[in-house]
Structure 1
């Protein structure tokens, strides 16, 4: 029996070696590789359609310079979706429930977009810190607030992804435990709880995909501001 509901979020180890590296490597082995044939199979066709549609939707507002990020952000989107979906399987570990991993994704990409803005158009990038037409007395306060909001962006990215996945997994485990305990005592109530658990699982599947999309979408918006 699990001693704590939060034990599921601990990185598993084998012989003292963390298995998070294996969990991060596994998604790339599940996708079929492109072939040299003229016609692809149904799985490859569906995969290519999904990637192309996502790339067009994300990068349509960006100018041509921002299209260089298409491969990176699309790969990150597919990677995060796969990690989130695999974490819903029984006896698995979800690396994206670790704040350290999500911050390792968020901070470098956010910092790269800020550096690009400072290098290419420093006046425009610094102009975001002070809205036009601000009264003189409010200039120092607004600069401080906008600077804090700028540096809090990567933290919001990482915490949002971590909190949503952690809360969903924890709620699923709580309801599953309740259904298991109520089954010998009150079978009808346990059945209703199981139906609720099924609906919550469907919701968590949607959350797993939406949160990965939101993560990459916000990164693209940060990039759009600095291009």
Structure 2
């Protein structure tokens, strides 16, 4: 990535025209060919930009960024205050915290969260229509299928219902009870689950991670 701080004016020529009068701005030239012009205020969005595929032509005092559609960004450079290049390497992408996969791993490591004496049989227990998130045994040795969601809605209850029907046909597992576990369970989903004999469990993500809130409480 190339970062240039310059006193410049910018003109966009294309389906319409736009003009930025002279000021000190940040020009970003990314390795994918993008060129973005930022100010120090106004939020995260660039003032003007050109996305790839495009080409950058530099001459004394003028940068021309042209895309394949003929649109053009003209940056008139009065003075360059900084011009530096940095190799950032390959970005691994955004990793979301608290998604269903994380909840599944944490709950598999602590099945007792579901009830005293609960043990894990296996994660991703396969059925004919896909894997149920966790198959556990309760304190009495009975089978329990657990479906995990970040936000528990009706479709998740329906999904677990189908799993329970299939698992209940296996004489080695039957009878199989169900637990619908989520960080948040919608009222309609709770009503449907309880009507079908499925227990609902609200998960505390921080508690599963072992994060204790550093605050005083009365009770």
Higher-Rg structure is: 2
What TM-score bracket applies, with the shorter chain setting the length?
Answer: under 0.3
> TM-score under structure 2 normalisation?
0.23
Structure with greater contact order relative to length (CA < 8 Å, sep ≥ 6): 1
Q: Which has the higher helix share?
A: 1
